[in-house]
Amino acid sequence: MTMAEAIIALAAALAIGVASIFPALSQGKVGAAAMESIARQPEAAGDIRTAMILAMALLEALTIYGLLIAFMIIGKI
């Protein structure tokens, strides 16, 4: 493996790592906030759950974009 290939591999690893850690932390925060909201106002659980699932899906899309970028970077090797 040449030096350029090693740097490209490191870039791909960093892309997927950064793209995974921050959405994961955000998903934890969204889940905790939703559970707290449901505990405070149980009658709104359906609306809160819907908003939470939508937010989780958007955060998961960020991780998938990071995976896509990592694949594109690896394609350069």
Q: Tell me, what CATH number does 22's domain have?
A: 1.20.20.10
DSSP letter, residue 1: -
Closest CA to 18 of 26, 28, 7: 26
Asked if residue 11 belongs to a domain, the reply is: no
Positive or negative, the CA dihedral 31, 35, 41, 44 is: positive
Asked if residue 32 belongs to a domain, the reply is: yes
Please state whether the predicted TM-score (pTM) of the whole model is above 0.85: no
DSSP letter, residue 76: T
Asked if residue 7 belongs to a domain, the reply is: no
Asked if residue 61 belongs to a domain, the reply is: yes
What pLDDT, on the 0 to 100 scale, is given for residue 48? 96
pLDDT tens, position by position, for the chain (77 residues)?
789 889 988 988 998 998 899 999 999 999 999 999 999 999 999 999 999 999 999 999 999 998 898 898 888 76
Q: How many domains does the chain have?
A: 1
Residue 52 sits in which domain range?
Answer: 18-74
What pLDDT, on the 0 to 100 scale, is given for residue 1? 73
Asked if residue 22 belongs to a domain, the reply is: yes
What pLDDT, on the 0 to 100 scale, is given for residue 73? 87
Asked if residue 33 belongs to a domain, the reply is: yes
Cα 55 to Cα 15, 63, 71: the distances in Å are 22, 13, 25
What pLDDT, on the 0 to 100 scale, is given for residue 76? 76
Asked if residue 26 belongs to a domain, the reply is: yes
